[in-house]
Structure 1
Amino acid sequence: MNHEELKRLDGRYVMPTYGRFDVDIDHGSGATLYDLAGREYIDFASGIGVNSVGYANPKWVAAVTEQAGKLGHISNLFYSQPCARLAQQLCERTGMANAFFANSGAESNEGIIKLARKYSFDKYGKGRGTIITLKNSFHGRTITTLTATGQDVFHNYFFPFIDGFRYAEAGNMDSVAEVAGHDVCGVLLELVQGEGGVLPMDQAFVHDLAVLCAERDWLLLVDEVQTGVGRTGTLFAFQQYGIIPDAASFAKGIAGGLPMGGFLANDKCSGVLGPGAHATTFGGNPICASAALAVLDILDEEALAAVRENGNYLRARIEHMGVDCLGGTRGLGMMIGVEVLGERSNRELAARLIENGLLVLTAGTALRLLPPLTITREEIDKGLAIMERTLA
């Protein structure tokens, strides 16, 4: 099959919900991808942060292959080793108490919203189920997580939305106070607003928010769907902010390319969701859990230090390129936003870069870079050379 044949097949049978770039991807190795014609691309996108350990990583491939030959699925009516071992690894490396496994970021965020509402219901009864989220946030595309998302652009078409969410200005405790009330049970935030433009939260704001939540017995819920699993240079971003959230969701990079998500709860919330209170058929799937165990094994402290170093290297190189259409950078680790200047949009610049062999993303008005966390310095330099040559 060639590129045009694939496009016709996709156009005929796949629902047209995605604005695709005119590129197909057939296979890859490390952070280098190839299309059906054999053309090479350097990947600064990693499947929107999913392919955390790159492509065809030998340790990841071995873990998935071995488990696929033993047991693909059994359901949560029975015990399985990969699920329990993965929960242990995540808790021991974060200081959290226990884990729930799901299939996607939206489902994971639904879970922590339910956790907060049940915690409050069990302790205070009805009438205390409102969640405060932040403007410019993004939490998923189900009706509930769309409602939680603080961007009007995502809200059109799907009315009516559910009740129980209010929006505050990021970084503004006065704004949080304005929307607070006796009916609030939790605050949900991203420590780096990903879809909103790669915007890190201020440390002081996060600290003050954590103090307020503790004082009012609101649950502090951290959406780590994009920031988690090493993306920001620590296993979870909250470990750089000096807080222990009541719950933190994760997805994207956890299984290195397989669909998996979930959330961690602290000691206070570890027993809130008992048998029958929350469930999902595929949660903790043995193959996905085995893949995730391989990801965590690969992302040891040395690898996380390399994420921080390579993130700093990428940002410094971009800021010193002297390219008129690019401004400053921001982010944590290898979650990087690059401001776009001039008349061309970030989408136009992304299309030009992809056409020339560098896969990038957009977010807000910025270019967004989410390379595989195991990308080599040689691959980084190749990608930067394409960026400079294309945008000069």
Structure 2
Amino acid sequence: MTLQVTRATFDEVMVPNYAPSAIIPVRGEGSRVWDKEGKEYVDFAGGIAVTGLGHCHPTLVNVMREQAGQLWHLSNVMTNEPALRLAKKLTEKTFADRVFFANSGAEANEAAFKLARRYAFDHFGPEKHEIIAFNKSFHGRTLFTVSVGGQAKYKEGFEPTPGGIKHCDYNDIEQLKAIISDKTCAVVIEPIQGEGGVIPGDIEFAQQVRALCDQHNALLVCDEVQSGVGRTGTLFAHEQLGIKPDILTTAKALGNGFPVAAMLATEEAAKSLAVGTHGSTYGGNPMACAVAEAVLDIVDTPEVLGGVQHRHDLFVAGLTAINDKYHVFKDIRGMGLLMGAEVVDQLAGKAGEIIKAGAEEGVFVLVAGPNVLRLAPSLIITDEDIADGLARLEKAIATVVANHPVA
């Protein structure tokens, strides 16, 4: 007998670190989702930039079923064919020579930061241990990754947090120059800040960051947990900034919802993770890697990557038309299908209200802070779904503006 549950069940049995909406989705197909009552929604959220190929992509469903009938888990006492195939393809398609698999973006970043410190320790000694990241950045929820992340609210109440970490403003090269030194082991950059407000990196800034890392013998770590796997129209977003990292992390869209992550590194850097220095029980398991390999095969094609800009343009045109009518956005920005629309000052703090109104109208949208609507839909969302979802979003915005008039 199947246990019947409702949204109230969450409040009875779950740790209260989340505050999920009243909606309980039960089925998805493409960019459409249905809840327990049968109501249909257009999904512009993508599970926070995860379902890059939409819900229940038939190829991925078949791959998962096939692998489920063969082999689920071994642990890293042994390797497995799906992991080796995926690693081979990732190294062939990127700057990297070596791969470490994990289960989440936070774990991939944890591995990256540990590798950066270990590499510096091996080559320069224990004094070279400082990590520099950027204000408003987000790198995960482990104690180490929230410490590297540039948002104090995620560290509050968990102190003391790991030391040896500095921050400066994103896209401000002079601030970085003022704090980088020969004690710096790594600089960590998101090519486009997601949680921090959907803020793209300036090309000149990113290239100067690379040059400063070279000057100070520091590793450049690109956090592409959110921006990677086709999200911005190239396989990884750093390609559009004209930089080559020493370490890269990716997760989210890599498994299209199946938990999988990867840390990619150059041969020189990777040597410092020698046998026994780091590990993961589930990382690189056959199920996750089989799905991720299929995702990579589908995404890294001219059809998918080439279609991202077309869809970006449709979203920008639609959001601009809404703004021309309601005057709610001060900025519409982003790269590819990671977009942000920052509300005007009169609606400061009201982005969450637009999200709730959107759900009422049947469209899922995200926030990136209290003032930015974030859109991270499927990379293959149809033109019709874009138009339908934007029409629903416009109705939601009309409702919010009616309650909070914009001069």
Shorter chain as normaliser: what TM range?
over 0.9
- Unmatched segments (≥5 aa) in structure 2: 399-407
* Preserved contact between residue 225 and residue 250 of structure 2 (Cα < 8 Å): yes
* Preserved contact between residue 251 and residue 262 of structure 2 (Cα < 8 Å): yes
* Preserved contact between residue 335 and residue 370 of structure 1 (Cα < 8 Å): yes
Distance across 1 between alignment mates of 2:89 and 2:296: 8
- Opposite residue 232 of structure 1, the aligned amino acid is T
1:163-312 matches, within 5 Å, as: 163-299=163-299, 300-312=301-313
How much is the aligned-residue C-alpha RMSD, in angstroms? 1.5
Question: Shift in Å at residue 242 of structure 1?
Answer: 1.1
Tell me whether 1:354 sits opposite 2:355 in the alignment: no
1:56-67 matches, within 5 Å, as: 56-67=56-67
Write out per-residue CA displacement over residues 88-135 of structure 1, whole angstroms, 9 at most, x where no aligned residue: 111111132111100111111111101111111111111111100011
The alignment partner of 1:231 has SS state of coil
- Distance 1:79-1:155 versus aligned 2 partners, 3 A rule: closer
Distance across 2 between alignment mates of 1:301 and 1:318: 26
Distance across 2 between alignment mates of 1:135 and 1:227: 18
The alignment partner of 1:122 has SS state of helix
Distance across 2 between alignment mates of 1:122 and 1:49: 36
Distance across 2 between alignment mates of 1:264 and 1:301: 23
* Preserved contact between residue 115 and residue 270 of structure 2 (Cα < 8 Å): no
Question: Shift in Å at residue 294 of structure 1?
Answer: 1.1
Spell out structure 1 runs of 4+ moving beyond 4 A: none
Tell me whether 1:338 sits opposite 2:341 in the alignment: yes
Question: Shift in Å at residue 340 of structure 1?
Answer: 1.1
Question: Shift in Å at residue 5 of structure 1?
Answer: 4.6
Distance across 2 between alignment mates of 1:203 and 1:156: 33
- Opposite residue 323 of structure 1, the aligned amino acid is Y
The alignment partner of 1:99 has SS state of strand
- Opposite residue 302 of structure 2, the aligned amino acid is E
- Opposite residue 386 of structure 2, the aligned amino acid is I
* Preserved contact between residue 304 and residue 380 of structure 2 (Cα < 8 Å): yes
| Aligned residues with identical type, % of pairs | 39
- Opposite residue 329 of structure 1, the aligned amino acid is I
Distance across 2 between alignment mates of 1:87 and 1:74: 17
Question: Shift in Å at residue 373 of structure 1?
Answer: 1.4
The alignment partner of 1:272 has SS state of coil
Bigger drift between 217-226 and 265-274 goes to 265-274
Query: Scaled by the length of structure 2, what TM-score is found?
Result: 0.93
Distance across 1 between alignment mates of 2:267 and 2:307: 31
Bigger drift between 269-278 and 190-199 goes to 269-278
Per the alignment, residue 31 of structure 2 pairs with 31
Per the alignment, residue 403 of structure 2 pairs with none
Write out per-residue CA displacement over residues 141-169 of structure 1, whole angstroms, 9 at most, x where no aligned residue: 11101110111222211111111100011
Write out per-residue CA displacement over residues 181-224 of structure 1, whole angstroms, 9 at most, x where no aligned residue: 33211100111110000000111000001011112110000110
Question: Shift in Å at residue 68 of structure 1?
Answer: 0.5
Distance across 1 between alignment mates of 2:21 and 2:258: 22
Question: Shift in Å at residue 245 of structure 1?
Answer: 0.2
Per the alignment, residue 50 of structure 2 pairs with 50
1:15-164 matches, within 5 Å, as: 15-164=15-164
Distance across 1 between alignment mates of 2:259 and 2:326: 37
- Opposite residue 363 of structure 2, the aligned amino acid is L
Write out per-residue CA displacement over residues 15-60 of structure 1, whole angstroms, 9 at most, x where no aligned residue: 1111212211001100000001110000001111111211111000
Q: How many residues matched?
A: 391
* Preserved contact between residue 106 and residue 140 of structure 2 (Cα < 8 Å): yes
Distance across 1 between alignment mates of 2:5 and 2:167: 46
Return the match for 1:378 from 376, 384, 395: 384
* Preserved contact between residue 213 and residue 220 of structure 1 (Cα < 8 Å): yes
Per the alignment, residue 9 of structure 1 pairs with 9
Per the alignment, residue 320 of structure 2 pairs with 319
The alignment partner of 1:133 has SS state of strand
* Preserved contact between residue 193 and residue 200 of structure 1 (Cα < 8 Å): yes
Distance across 2 between alignment mates of 1:272 and 1:301: 36
Bigger drift between 357-366 and 299-308 goes to 299-308
Write out per-residue CA displacement over residues 206-252 of structure 1, whole angstroms, 9 at most, x where no aligned residue: 00010111121100001101001111111111111111100000111
Per the alignment, residue 396 of structure 2 pairs with 390
Distance across 2 between alignment mates of 1:213 and 1:18: 38
Write out per-residue CA displacement over residues 232-287 of structure 1, whole angstroms, 9 at most, x where no aligned residue: 11111111111110000011110111111121112332322121111101011111
Question: Shift in Å at residue 374 of structure 1?
Answer: 1.8
- Unmatched segments (≥5 aa) in structure 1: none
- Opposite residue 69 of structure 1, the aligned amino acid is G
